[in-house]
Each structure stands twice: as C-alpha cells, then as structure tokens.
Amino acid sequence: MAQAALKPDRRNAPDENIDWKRVVHLLLLSRGLDEMEEKRLVPEKKILYQFSARGHDMAQILLGLNLTEKHDAACGYYRSRPLLLALGVDPADALGSAMARSGGYSDGRDIGVVFNYPNLNGASALPMCGGVGSQYTPTAGWAQAISYFSKHLKNKDYDRAIAVVLGGDASVASNGFWSALTAATTQRLPMLFYIEDNGFGISVPSTLQTPDGNIAANLAAWKNLTVLDGDGCDPEEAARLTKGAVALVREERMPVLLRLRVPRLEGHSFQDTQAYKSEALIRSEWARDPLPRLRDYLVPAVLGEEEWQEAVSSARTAAERARIEAESRPIADPETVTSNVFFEGPMQTMGGQYPTGYRPPEPTETAASDGQRINMVTAIRRTLDHEMSINERVVLFGEDIGPKGGVHAVTLGLQEKYGATRVFDTSLSEEGIVGRAVGMALAGLVPVPEIQFRKYAEPAIEQINDCGTIRWRTNNRFAAPIVLRMPGGFFKCGDPWHSQTNEVAFVHQPGWKVAVPSNAEDAVGLLRTSLRGNDPVIFFEHRAMLDHPWARRPYPGDAFALPFGKAKFVCQGNDITIVTWGAMVPRCEEAVDGISADVIDLRTLMPWDRDAVLSSVRRTRRCLIVHEDLGTGGFGAEIAAAVADKAFIDLDAPVSRLTMPDIPSPHNPVLLDWAVPSAERIRRKITDLLEY
C-alpha cells in the first residue's frame, strides 16, 4: 500500500491535541545546546565531536512527542538529539555525554552524539551506532519482538507499541536499510522508517544515493508499505505527517516510510565548512529554517509575543543550567574502563531475559550419560528443543532453517513442533539476520540466529561488532545476549567459501564469548550455558564433527551445562602439552598414541583456560599448539605469547605451532589433506619437540 500524503487539516490551524508550548521549549533548548557547543564548547575543546541538528530539530521533536507507549522504541543516528530531548532525556546528560564526562550515556566511553536511553516507563532510545545504516535492522528486530510479545505471548502491553528508526537520505543506500525494509514488509512489522532528507550525505548529493534523490517516490510501489512524503520545515505539515505516520503504524500494525525534506543548516559536523555548497543554496536552506516558521505559525494563534520571548529566555536558562551541571561532572576513573565488557553485575537496565525476572533451572556439570551415542547434529537439535520447550522467549531463525531444517539438518523438525513464529526462515541477508537478533535481544527475547557458513558472516561483521560492544559502550545500561550459531571448517572437501574457520576474528570482537565444541557432549553443555547466559555468544559448529564417529557421545541430560573458560584434558601425560580445539582434537589424540602427553581441548576461545595450559606447560616443559585456522594471526599466536610470557623459564623447547598455511581452504581432497594438519604431521612435530 502506498500513500502520497495524509489528508491536510483544511482549517490550517494548530492541532489542539499537540502540546505546542512543549514543542517550542524543546526546539529552543535544542538550538541553545547546538549554539553553545558551536560557539563555546567546541572551540574550548570541551567537546570533540559535534553534529548540529538545526533544521532537523522541529520534525524530530514532533515525532518524539508521539511516542507515548511503554514499549515504543526509537533508534536514531548522530543528529538525533532533539528526539532524545522529546523522549525525556535530561539536557545535562545530553551535554555531559557530548563532553565525555562520567554519567550520561556511556561514562565517556562513546562519542556523545550516539545516544542510548533505557526507559522502563516509556519510550526508549535503542543504543545508536556510529556506522551509517547500522540502526535499521536492530529496530526491525525490536518491531518483530513487539509482534512476538503481542501475538505469541499475548502480552497486551505490546498491542500498540511501535519501533521507529531515524535515518538520513544517504543511509537509504546502506545494506541495513534494504535488509530492514525487506524484513519489515515481508513480516508486516509495526515499524516506522523516518527519513530526514537534507539533500546531502556530508558532501555527496542525495541523487547519488537513490535515483533522483527521492526514496519515497522510488518506493511508491513497494508492497506492504505506506509511503508518506512532505516538508519537515512546515509546522502544520510536519505535525500532521508525524502524527499520522505513528497512528498508521499503531493501528494497522504495518510498516510506514515517512520522508521529510529538511535543511541541514550547519555542516555535517563542526569541522565541515560546506565549501561544496553554493552561497545561493545555503541562503535557500536558511530560508526554510523551521524555527521562524514555527514562530509565525504559533504567534499569536497559540502563544502571545510575550510568551514566546519567555520561552526563549526559559530555554536559554535551561541550556546554561545543563552546561553548568555537565561541566561539574568528573572524568570517569580510567581504571573502570575495562569493566562491563561482559556481564559481571549489577544487571543491565534493558536487554536480555534477566532484567524481566528470568531465572534458569539449576544446571549441573555432571553428565547423565545413559543411552546410546548420538552425533553432534542430534545433540545440538535436542538441546535447542529442550530449551525452547521450557523458555518461550527462545526463537530460532536464519536461511533455510524452517521446513528444510537447515543445510546441516540441525533444526530439522523444530518449525513443525514450535511453529513459524519461533522457528523461521529469513531473507538472504546476514546483516539483517544478526541485526534483527540484536533488536530482539534488546527487547528481552533470546534470539538464536544461524549463519549458514562461517564465510557468510562477513556481511554481518558491523552488526557483530556493534552487538558485542553494547554493554561496554552503554556502561551496562543495555545488553544484547544472542547466540549466533555458525557452522564452518572443512567437510570431506574444502573450498574458499564454506570451509574457513577463522575463529580468531570473533575473539578479537570485544564482548563476544566464543565456543568451539569438538564433540556432542561439549556441544550440549556449552550451548545450554549460552542459551541461559547474559552475554552474546558465537557458537561454532565444525562441519566435519557434526556427524563424525569420534564426536558422538551419549546425551548428557537436560540439566547438563558447562562453564566457559574451562578446558578439558582429553589425554594426560608428562612429556609435552598439546593445545587444540574443534576438528583437530581427535587428530591430536590419535597423534599421541604411545606418547605421554597432555592433550588439552580448550572448548572455548573467549574466555580460554590460561591456567590449565600454563600449569600443564610448567609440568611437561614443552608446548605444541595445533589448529585448523591459518598460522599468521591465528589464535595459536595468542596462546604461544601467553606461554612465552608466563612460563618461559619452564620451557625446555620453543613453543611451537602447527596450522594450515596462509591460504584459503582448497577444494580438491588431496590438496585439502595436504593443507590441514593431519595426525601424522602432528606426530612428527611432537617428535621434533621431544628430541629438541
């Protein structure tokens, strides 16, 4: 469904249902904060990043005042402070965050223009990011969570809630925009796309972002989408369109795209001189300034001249008061900057299942190993099945995981059992899969997205990075615990697209835990811990081990859970320590036949069991690290560095590594067997170290 505009108010009089005095105060306050930053705080180097909202401000405020439901949420970008003020953010928090002081949005950890606002009693602002377009898919995830709580869990508090995403005209060219648009329209989500079109992405005109520079016109025929277009500088039109767009999403429970034309009255940021704009263009933009137009619209219809001047004075006083309070705040203690990477208590304000009172069943590390051996595929499926059966917040999604049951058959039968609301296929967009999971987690669900193969995670790297840093960069105000399942590694043959491991890339993403089980029992224990945890987890499923005879184990029970950071000694001996994980574990076990060796299966790479490795090396005095990933920059280098740093004087031989060469995984099985460490090559390496 497309619609050019909502019907105009023929009276052309200010809507009596809008608190125009509040609009005036917030607009003048926003202008006062912008001016204070530009003329004083940036030149004094008290603010390092500044993005003026002048021109965008009035329409944003009108939008924010329409977000009145408890579970409404908006996600903006670096020019969204007026919206935050309308939602109720303290101006001292806004200014103090821009000054990187303690308190506020992040305790000085993040730039102050990317906001977050957990509001348990009203509309929240989801954690914003510095990457253009990265706000769209998490907002779609929040919208899908709204539908889930309302329709599946029958929670009436969500029946009228909506998700709103703000973006500029340049962001409509991003992967995130198109992925979220596809999700919102195919799933019919209660989501408002609010596009502030100022004609430029820094210096690049909007005509290079979408044909003719008008995303609304280009989407006019898009199915399941109402498209609205108008002037964000005209008070009557902006008020009518923002109010109408929000009402449409609330009532129809369908997505709406609202494009408002607004001027960017200052540069992209403080440093931007706008030399790429002609003087005539700049004059024409200032002629569209919504502030004087709002004054003309309201005086004397709503406010008298004296009341307007009082509003000016009041806003100026409020801005100065915010500055004084913000400047009085100290810099955070540098020693605190390493806190809240992972959950360590107290509980985050929003995100995940724990803030709403979830308490998991009592786990055990003791396996109840009765019954026949099962492969890792069955073990993972059975664990997902049980956790879904006892926790309605767990949802599974990805490409081909529904009726097909996944390309590796891990989710086979789960959609039939739990329905397409809880186990569902997605469009082919890894950015959308992970981004949507982030929004669902922020709303309190337990999303379990699947990336079909490790290599396919690359388009989602921005969302993966953003997800991991949410707790840290909001200083524990928000968290997004998701369990990202990801098969990878060789299987019979290899190739550059389906067979890489490269787990170290995720270890290097702050805030993520990384599990790499080698067998069915460990997969059950680590997956259950992940699903009941409070941090995002990469759960790596090695393709070669999914049905490998060695990896088969009896199902360890529905209460079995393993802690992260606790390695397992597959073999124990005195002459050498071998550290490994994943598909290399059985090869290392085979290689030490007849040799007195510790074979340590790390099981998790973040965190990893340093103590187990170091205590073993101090006893055996030799260390070999074996992994499938490439040698240069592989995780084995981290282990080797730790051993050299902490146990150097205990060594009788150099720390050694055996890995794949620095090449993609080759396809021909003969080439693959040459590249991947074999039991024979591992044994030769062990012999060399023992003879050193």
Catalytic residues, by residue number, are: 498
CB contact at 8 A, 412 and 381: yes
Residue from 462, 405, 410, 419 nearest 438 by CA: 462
The encoded tokens of residue 483 equal 């369990």
The encoded tokens of residue 502 equal 């490269």
3-state secondary structure of 449: strand
Q: Which residues pair with 81 in a beta bridge?
A: none
Kindly provide the residue ranges of all beta strands, DSSP E only, lying in 311-405, ordered along the sequence.
Answer: 373-374, 394-398
Which amino acid is located at 206 in the chain?
S
CB contact at 8 A, 51 and 86: no
Which amino acid is located at 588 in the chain?
C
Which amino acid is located at 469 in the chain?
T
10 Å CB burial of residue 459 (0-12, 13-18, 19+) is middle
Tokens 């500055």 locate to: 323
Tokens 């002459």 locate to: 575
Q: Which residues pair with 174 in a beta bridge?
A: none
Helix count (H) and strand count (E) of the chain? 22, 22
What are phi and psi for residue 287, nearest 5 degrees? -65, -20
The encoded tokens of residue 465 equal 């990075």
Residue from 62, 61, 81, 83 nearest 73 by CA: 83
Residue from 350, 432, 439, 356 nearest 162 by CA: 439
The encoded tokens of residue 671 equal 């080439």
Across the beta sheet with 483-488, the strand order is: 423-425, 394-398, 446-450, 483-488, 537-542, 513-515, 604-606
Residues with Cβ < 8 Å from 307, sequence gap 6 or more?
21
CB contact at 8 A, 603 and 538: no
Q: Which residues pair with 576 in a beta bridge?
A: 597
Residue from 252, 216, 246 nearest 231 by CA: 216
- Alpha helices of 18-159 — where are they, by DSSP H? 20-36, 57-64, 81-87, 91-98, 136-147
Give the span between the Cα atoms of 501 and 503, in whole angstroms. Answer: 6
Q: How many CA atoms lie within 13 A of 552 on its CB side?
A: 8
**DSSP classification of residue 666:** P
Give the span between the Cα atoms of 550 and 289, in whole angstroms. Answer: 70
- Alpha helices of 580-660 — where are they, by DSSP H? 584-591, 610-620, 635-647
Q: How many CA atoms lie within 13 A of 394 on its CB side?
A: 23
The encoded tokens of residue 198 equal 């100022």
**Other beta carbons less than 10 A from residue 175's beta carbon:** 20
The encoded tokens of residue 564 equal 């992260």
